[in-house]
């Protein structure tokens, strides 16, 4: 079906097809490129071949359509985890793991929590309310009346604003300052640019997950799985983190200016963890700081006194 409700030009309307999802009730994991972390449950919770309730479309149809550059419209409310990892060519499904261009998602109603966790590309337009925590997104000035427009933080750092105007955020060169008073998951997910993301406030799950380059700094507390699968760059939490900090960490630097919680560094491969407190999982253990560790802390304006190293 063609998108008939207000594209920027007739030319765009001709190029883009829109899938319409009927949503008399909220459905979780619509447009979810991970299919609710399919690699964990092996299709028991969700499979690309499953039909979307009240529709002839499958969950896989929505993702494939977005990958082809088409748009998806949800006629009603959306459930949890809308558009998870949207714009990622996931290796689990035979991709290369990189960002890819995708179409946009439009929601005619409200959206439940964790919209856009680990999102890398694409826009999400919402007519109603978005329940927090939301994902790796910031709001930009909308180009469609009646909708709020959200863009991936990582997309902005990789691709630039492309004419969008940030709301309650500021981009200066390669440094993004976020002051939007929202609670977010997965801030800076998959960042692979020599850029800085500074977030003022508390965050929830998986900050900096899978980032490869750059700096993400949270001036507040963070939830579980901070630095999960960190694969380069530097993540700084200027407060406490919840449990499972640095789980499956591959490399990079993770600094917690507070308590890093229980089960710290579970299944960690490599990389540096500096924190004031934490309960690591063996074989990770507490070690004394060296001069290089102190220099790293000082370079980020942190006093080394009280810090410990966990390796």
**200-216 pLDDT tens trace:** 999 999 999 999 999 99
Residue pair 120/152 in contact by the 8 Å Cβ criterion = yes
pLDDT at 218 exceeding the cut of 70: yes
Q: What is the mean pLDDT of the chain?
A: 94
For the segment 273-299, the average pLDDT, to the nearest whole number, is 96
pLDDT score of 17: 86
Enclosing H/E stretch for 125: strand 123-126
pLDDT at 10 exceeding the cut of 70: no
Query: Between vectors from CA 288 to CA 283 and to CA 290, what angle results, nearest 5°?
Result: 120
Task: Note the Cα 77 to chain centre separation in Å.
Answer: 21
pLDDT score of 295: 97
Q: Distance between CA atoms of 266 and 56, rounded to whole angstroms?
A: 42
Helix %, strand %, coil % of the chain (to 5): 10, 30, 55
pLDDT digits (tens, 9 = 90+) for 92-106: 999 999 999 999 999
pLDDT at 145 exceeding the cut of 50: yes
pLDDT at 8 exceeding the cut of 50: no
* Closest to 260 in 3D by CA, of 232, 285, 239: 239
What does pTM read for this prediction? Answer: 0.93
């Amino acid at each position: 079906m063609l998108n008939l409700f207000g594209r920027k030009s007739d030319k765009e309307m001709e190029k883009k097809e829109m899938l319409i999802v009927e949503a008399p009730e909220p459905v979780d994991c619509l447009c979810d490129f991970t299919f609710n972390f399919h690699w964990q449950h092996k299709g028991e919770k969700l499979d690309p071949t499953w039909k979307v309730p009240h529709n002839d479309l499958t969950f896989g149809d929505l993702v494939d359509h977005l990958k082809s550059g088409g748009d998806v419209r949800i006629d009603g409310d959306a459930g949890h985890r809308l558009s998870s990892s949207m714009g990622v060519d996931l290796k689990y499904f035979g991709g290369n793991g990189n960002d890819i261009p995708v179409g946009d998602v439009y929601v005619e109603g409200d959206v439940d929590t964790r919209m856009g966790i680990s999102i890398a590309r694409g826009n999400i337009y919402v007519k109603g309310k978005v329940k927090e925590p939301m994902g790796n997104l910031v709001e930009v000035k909308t180009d469609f009346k009646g909708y709020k427009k959200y863009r991936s933080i990582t997309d902005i750092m990789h691709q630039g604003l492309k004419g969008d105007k940030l709301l309650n955020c500021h981009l200066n060169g390669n440094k993004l300052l976020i002051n939007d008073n929202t609670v977010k998951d997965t801030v800076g997910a998959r960042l692979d640019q020599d850029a800085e993301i500074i977030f003022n406030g508390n965050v929830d799950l998986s900050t900096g997950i899978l980032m490869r380059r750059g700096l993400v700094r949270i001036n507040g507390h963070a939830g579980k799985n901070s630095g999960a699968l960190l694969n380069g760059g530097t993540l700084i939490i200027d407060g406490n983190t919840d449990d499972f900090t640095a789980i499956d960490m591959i490399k990079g630097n993770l600094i917690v200016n507070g308590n890093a919680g229980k089960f710290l560094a579970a299944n960690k491969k490599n990389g540096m963890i500096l924190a004031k407190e934490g309960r690591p999982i063996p074989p990770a253990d507490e070690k004394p700081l060296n001069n290089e560790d102190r220099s790293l802390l000082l370079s980020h304006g942190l006093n080394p006194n009280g810090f410990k190293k966990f390796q």
